[in-house]
Structure 1
């Protein structure tokens, strides 16, 4: 295959970080073109019988109260288990660690360019990059995209996921799982209801903590829900009991990640216990949403600075967006007040918008160095030297830990006929797009890709007007990267090239208002240099409603891979 290449010198100046004008971008870029290829995909239905066409083995375990939680990996299609073997609760899943999400890869823990409060990676001035062709840019943008059609008649129609790495390996992760729960109707009939889990995990200082969350967080929450269920409580109708189970699941997992793994390391210092302790050394934010089909409520539990948005359309065809979470950072006045109240007479507990002047999120999993001084009276200096090198020194002014907690803030929202979709994303998305822009981009995508068509009175080429009705908007950090200069006219407001709406959001987030040059440059910059200009990006979009022209009683309970909006993972060599 022939290809023409050009090396492009891109000065790594602070000007790009603040935002390049189109004129300045043109000075830096000389166009180059490559000949690219295409990829084919195929449908993979996920059926209620448990016969997964993708060849995933389901390994199931009781986690409390008769609650079934499943783990999964790519194995032979012959390894199939029934989902009907445990009384009461079954689980359906479309993905977890399926080849797209990163496992615990190699790398220097604690020293990598981190998204949340760590110094970005990359070398100094005068870096050269290879500007990718349009085909290669598209291949990178679509490489980690997935889409699923949900034919269960339980309120969720479809969900799309996409990721774009900046760190290598990507420090973000995600999870999508559906757990079914028996519910008794007023007439005494037993029916199944769905708890649909959608999570985004924004890691920092490595991928270890976010990978652990993708593997275990739903299981820990499910275990706590199972404890409530085993006591005869109706977990589907008790909002307070669900909140308590979610919070306990979060805190128990973080305790196991930090204290449990480090205790094991001190008791038996070895390569194996050191590997198990890596999620305690790195860190991760966590956003876990749970849609309850029994009462059409959506819970969002947040630890950190990821964000969840809900978009609604009223009877007069006006669009509204509201945040279902509040960024938990050293810039949030309520979080600053909380941390300082826990550490009186410590003016540096929050400094320069960061915890101890270092970590931007005020809540996170892992991050042992903000939480503990010792383990059972033993300090890190007592570990063998070959293990101590994995640990960073304690932050300055580290006096009365813990300074960081994994305790989530939980919101509950009613999903009604006007509720159209939810967007959850790592903070890398919201550094680039406002809430209104995110919602408007999804609306424009829906006009061209979903049936029936959504009403939109605004002309093509422009984003629709969306009103942000978030109740705590002052505590949310605004988008700040690559914003167009005030007063400059821009004829193109968005790009419409993707069948996957999450990929569509990522492409437009990098475009600074529809400029392909921005997308080409920002995607072309390699790791770790790219970390100076953009974070890892992880986005999930969930559409609510009932299947068009189909009654819930007629659906067959499947979750079907939408091959038009999915890129199949490459086979491992």
Structure 2
């Protein structure tokens, strides 16, 4: 039995579940519900609506094969005019008429994307310090986890560059029985970042559906395992199958509907196929304290902690999948023999930078059931771009992820997930060092070793495949110091602020945040960051996930 229920009318949802469940299945069901009550999610045996918690968008429930209940909440949560070439460091990065600006060569995911033309005479309105802080903190949220399952806190923050922002994200918890005695279920914590391009449609679709697809696949394996949590290899298979099935539904499923009925509604349904998105999804399993990282594209996940000598180390749990990665280039060319332009100038077919992504139909689809785009009515066909040059034997791009599994021990302190906009600005070592400094300055999470007060600590990067990780390249030559800024209670916002600071400069932050869209895309990408802290909570493990209000910005009223 498989049922997905998404509803903000929670009482109605409860009644619907009761109608759909047999008595036998209902008795097997783990009916644990986190209620929005003064910012806490409390364990209860009822589902009801609450208006007390302003950050809840909706409650997602999914009943899987074997009686697994998914419980998850989604949260979304006087000026001066100056010339750009008077702001220190930015003139070097202004656009050239010949298109050879080094800060733009690795910019847009897909070449040919529209960006604003800028000359040295362009000007911008600098925001006040208060306005800069408001913009940096506008999309931040933080949660304290009191479930005794190995995760104690997670922070999320975003800063748009595109308008609307093309990034999206997800944070969800699945409660899963692991034995016949389901009174002590384990948790699967999902954290995902979806870096979209050519629009926000695909990344939005992934934030809504990817965990659900993974959960449904896990439910099938759960039933095969006799009601217990699936093995590690079967979890890998479930994730791979979910990625591929969702991408197939996004691309071929929507296009088939459009060919059958070329209506406005079906055209809208094709938008996630027309745009594209990378996907980074992590799953922390409290049963065995492991984290799985599945990546399709160039977002990145890091873990950091202490080695046996008590020194800080960081390691990437994913490899950037782009046209610059030699292994990805070899894979694509082996799949398309005799096509030297399958990868050209570091891009798939000379155009798309990520070598794996969801959507992006124009790198995957030649025809659908024998029909081509030329068979669509003209009023629909105009929404589709022409196929790339040298498009011969698709698909050239896949959503199939690479998966790593890593043991989280007592020396592992935190994990950072980021869209590639973060890694264009900061190295792995800098990111880890900035989180360590934030820990040192904020009570509640104290590291074993203290670093010098005004310097980032020494971090050793143990990433196994460093040559396949794109180095940070923006503003590196402009760093005047190795300083940093310490102004935020949300550590994800702290990373974004320092990524824009070029080594601790408030002026850089002010300017880069002030540049409006679409001009800002020349200087920085959308930024999305999630930081997860491992360990045991100092608070009572009462099964709650509590909003950390000092690091969370309340969404603005729509009225």
* 1:513 maps to 2:512: no
* 1:194 maps to 2:195: no
2:53 alignment partner in structure 1: 54
CA distance in 2, matches of 1:140, 1:61: 33
1:172-223, Cα deviation, whole Å (9 max, x unpaired)? 00000000001128xx675210000000000000000000000000000000
2:171 alignment partner in structure 1: 176
Alignment of 1:279-428 (within 5 A): 279-428=272-421
CA distance in 2, matches of 1:432, 1:544: 25
Shift in CA distance, 457/45, structure 1 to aligned 2, threshold 3 Å: closer
1:74-106, Cα deviation, whole Å (9 max, x unpaired)? xxxxxxxxxxxxx4434232x25x45xxxxxxx
**1:171–1:536 CA contact under 8 A, matched in 2:** yes
Q: Give 5+ residue unaligned stretches, structure 2.
A: 1-36, 78-105
* 1:544 maps to 2:543: no
* 1:89 maps to 2:60: no
Q: How many matched pairs?
A: 488
CA distance in 2, matches of 1:403, 1:353: 14
Question: Which of 528, 536, 548 pairs up with 1:562?
Answer: 548
CA distance in 1, matches of 2:60, 2:519: 41
CA distance in 2, matches of 1:236, 1:303: 25
1:102 alignment partner in structure 2: none
**How far apart are 1:43 and its partner, in Å?**
5.4
1:11-39, Cα deviation, whole Å (9 max, x unpaired)? xxxxxxxxxxxxxxxxxxxxxxxxxxxxx
* 1:262 maps to 2:242: no
Structure 2 counterpart SS, 1:195 = strand
**1:235–1:241 CA contact under 8 A, matched in 2:** no
1:275 alignment partner in structure 2: 268
**How far apart are 1:319 and its partner, in Å?**
0.4
Shift in CA distance, 89/64, structure 1 to aligned 2, threshold 3 Å: closer
Shift in CA distance, 253/462, structure 1 to aligned 2, threshold 3 Å: same
**1:115–1:536 CA contact under 8 A, matched in 2:** no
CA distance in 2, matches of 1:169, 1:189: 44
1:118-148, Cα deviation, whole Å (9 max, x unpaired)? 4352133232210111111111100000000
CA distance in 1, matches of 2:171, 2:450: 34
1:437-484, Cα deviation, whole Å (9 max, x unpaired)? 000000000001142421344311110000000000110000000014
**1:114–1:205 CA contact under 8 A, matched in 2:** no
2:434 alignment partner in structure 1: 441
1:355-410, Cα deviation, whole Å (9 max, x unpaired)? 00000000000000000111111111221222112111100000000000000000
CA distance in 1, matches of 2:225, 2:405: 23
CA distance in 1, matches of 2:526, 2:360: 19
Question: Which of 435, 457, 462 pairs up with 1:464?
Answer: 457
Q: Give 5+ residue unaligned stretches, structure 1.
A: 1-41, 67-86, 100-112
Which moved further from structure 2: 116-125 or 307-316?
116-125
Q: TM-score, normalised by structure 1?
A: 0.82
2:470 alignment partner in structure 1: 477
2:117 alignment partner in structure 1: 123
Backbone CA RMSD of aligned residues: 2.0
**2:116–2:519 CA contact under 8 A, matched in 1:** yes
2:16 alignment partner in structure 1: none
Shift in CA distance, 526/557, structure 1 to aligned 2, threshold 3 Å: same
Structure 1 counterpart SS, 2:186 = strand
Structure 2 counterpart SS, 1:157 = strand
Q: TM-score, normalised by structure 2?
A: 0.84
**1:432–1:481 CA contact under 8 A, matched in 2:** yes
CA distance in 1, matches of 2:419, 2:525: 9
**2:276–2:358 CA contact under 8 A, matched in 1:** yes
